[in-house]
């Protein structure tokens, strides 16, 4: 199992709306995440909109994103969420994840 940390940036003016959407993620999106190996998945946010994500996945972030790219619901979710992120116009949020290097782990 690979542990992955990543960062993204939510637009400051969209933070509360972004948080509300994540209180009620579409059930079919949750099922697609589970089906494609996104385990122990968490998102944390600083007040400035910096988002830290953590996920455990069998093969790593690229493989996890690739598996989700084949899910129709993911295409809809990425389009729905794209206005919330500081990213180039038309960029899917999941492609903007900046993977972090793990430098320490205590088991």
Closest by CA to 67, choosing from 92, 22, 33, is: 33
Query: Where does 2-100 sit in CATH, by number?
Result: 3.30.70.100
- CA 45, CA 88: separation in Å to the nearest integer? 21
Q: Is the pLDDT of residue 71 over 80?
A: yes
Q: Is the pLDDT of residue 94 over 90?
A: no
- Encode burial over 68-97: b for 16+ CB neighbours within 10 A, e otherwise: beebebbeebbeebbebbebeeeebbbebb
Q: Is the pLDDT of residue 88 over 90?
A: no
- CA 90, CA 87: separation in Å to the nearest integer? 8
Per-residue confidence (pLDDT) for residue 10, from 0 to 100: 96
Per-residue confidence (pLDDT) for residue 89, from 0 to 100: 73
- In this structure, what token pair is assigned to residue 40? 């122990």
């Amino acid at each position: 199992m690979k542990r992955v940390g990543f960062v993204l940036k939510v637009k400051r003016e969209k933070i509360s709306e972004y948080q509300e959407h994540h209180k009620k993620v579409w059930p079919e999106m949750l099922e697609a995440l589970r089906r494609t190996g996104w385990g122990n998945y968490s998102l944390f946010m600083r007040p400035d909109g910096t988002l830290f994500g953590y996920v455990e996945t069998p093969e790593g972030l690229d493989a996890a994103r690739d598996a989700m790219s084949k899910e129709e619901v993911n295409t809809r979710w990425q389009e729905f969420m794209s206005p919330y992120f500081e990213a180039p116009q038309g960029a899917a949020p999941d492609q903007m994840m900046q993977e972090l290097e793990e430098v320490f782990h205590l088991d």
